Chains A and B, each alone.
Chain A
Amino acid sequence: MDDELIEGILRKDKKMILVFIQSYQHRVYSQAYRMLGNTQDAEEACQDAFIKALNKIDGFKGGSKLSTWVYRIGYTTCLDVLKKRKLKPKMLNIDDSMLTSWASLHDSLHTLESKEQRSIIDNAVQELEETDALLIDLYHLQEISIAEISEITGLNKSAIKVRLLRARKKLAIHLEKRLPLETIKKLKK
């Protein structure tokens, strides 16, 4: 399938280019949104990433899957946007003793209405540092292996595991902070 797509793009076959974009656009967009935090920048980065991919397809050596190559381009494009923004990293102290279990968080969220749940989860993920949000998305939601994440981000596997561990803790803290007071009281009981 990858070979067919590449040949099609090299031939500038519009149908194949459309298939190529449609195959990966949701994940590249989701990745960009996680890193950049708003739809406008995510769309722009997504467009830039695909234009780069289409222009550089002849340089794809097949050392990895085509999807991994495309996601890597998406990731580096987002990093470029973040560099231009020059934002300070979001700092959060993690106190292990304060952490609530995922089971309690899951149950507490379950008691809320779906709209409220969505808002709490979205905001909590947005509070994470860009790369942490991306790692959580790729590993926990998209279920991509650590090895593939390593190829996409260029981080080594052990660094990814450590960052994931910290990102999970931060996510738990951000979720807990956003839960309504009564729910928290129930959690602590």
Chain B
Amino acid sequence: MKKNLDEILIKEILQKGTEMTAPKDLSSRIIARWQLEEECIPFYIPVLPRLTWWILAFFFAGLFIWGFSKMSFSGVNTEVAILMEQIIENLEYSIVSNEGVVFPTIAVLVIMVLINAFLLKFRILQRWVLG
């Protein structure tokens, strides 16, 4: 009984505080922002960052393989070492020895990062404009 009375009193006290209501134009601003994100940059949110990560992953994988290929296995006289050397030789031939792969990869990576940065800036701008 006492608890119920306290609860009634607490509610009465809290009701005397400022009533929190959302600004009148909040719903229209949310819709405007949502529409802009839907229409202008649908490609940005799911695809671009992922693509950048994939390119980064491939780039570093290539770098790793290239570095690995420079290591010497001559001291390790096992079948595994021979097999590793064969694999690396093949990879080196197909990926690293071809310089035409490395530079375009870096170029694409830089472009992707720039596009991401631009779109991120655009999102921030869009927030400033729409509030």
**Interface, chain A (partner B; CB < 8 A):** 12, 14, 17-18, 21-22, 25-26, 28-30, 33-34, 43, 46-47, 50-51, 54-55, 102-103, 105-106, 109, 114, 117-118, 121-122, 125, 136-137, 140-141, 143, 168, 171, 175
Contacts and interface: CB of A to CB of B under 8 A. Distances in A.
19 contacts: A12-B38, A21-B31, A25-B30, A26-B22, A33-B20, A43-B131, A51-B34, A102-B5, A102-B13, A103-B5, A105-B9, A105-B13, A106-B9, A114-B16, A118-B17, A121-B17, A125-B17, A136-B14, A137-B14
B129 interface: no
B12 A106 contact: yes
B121 interface: no
Given A18-B27, A121-B13, A140-B14, A26 B21 contact: yes
Contacts of B27: 18, 21-22, 25
Nearest to A143: B11
Interface in B14-64: 14-18, 20-23, 26-31, 33-34, 37-38
A14 B18 CA distance: 31
A118 B10 contact: no
A53 to B, nearest CB: 10
A171 B23 CA distance: 27
Interface of B: 5-7, 9-18, 20-23, 26-31, 33-34, 37-38, 131
B10 A102 contact: yes
List the 4 shortest-distance A-B pairs measured between CB atoms, nearest first.
Answer: A30-B20, A121-B17, A29-B22, A21-B27
Contacts of A114: 16
B61 to A, nearest CB: 32
A12 B39 CA distance: 12
Given A105-B9, A136-B10, 18 more contacts: A17-B34, A21-B26, A26-B22, A30-B22, A43-B26, A46-B30, A102-B6, A102-B10, A103-B9, A118-B17, A121-B17, A122-B17, A122-B18, A125-B14, A140-B7, A140-B14, A141-B14, A143-B11
A51 B37 contact: yes
Contacts of B15: 141
A118 B14 contact: no
Contacts of A22: 27
A26 B22 CA distance: 5
Contacts of B11: 140-141, 143
A40 B57 CA distance: 39
A117 B29 contact: no
Contact of A47 (B12, B33, B38): B33
Contacts of B16: 109, 114, 117-118, 121
Contacts of A17: 31, 34
Contacts of A143: 11
Nearest to A103: B9
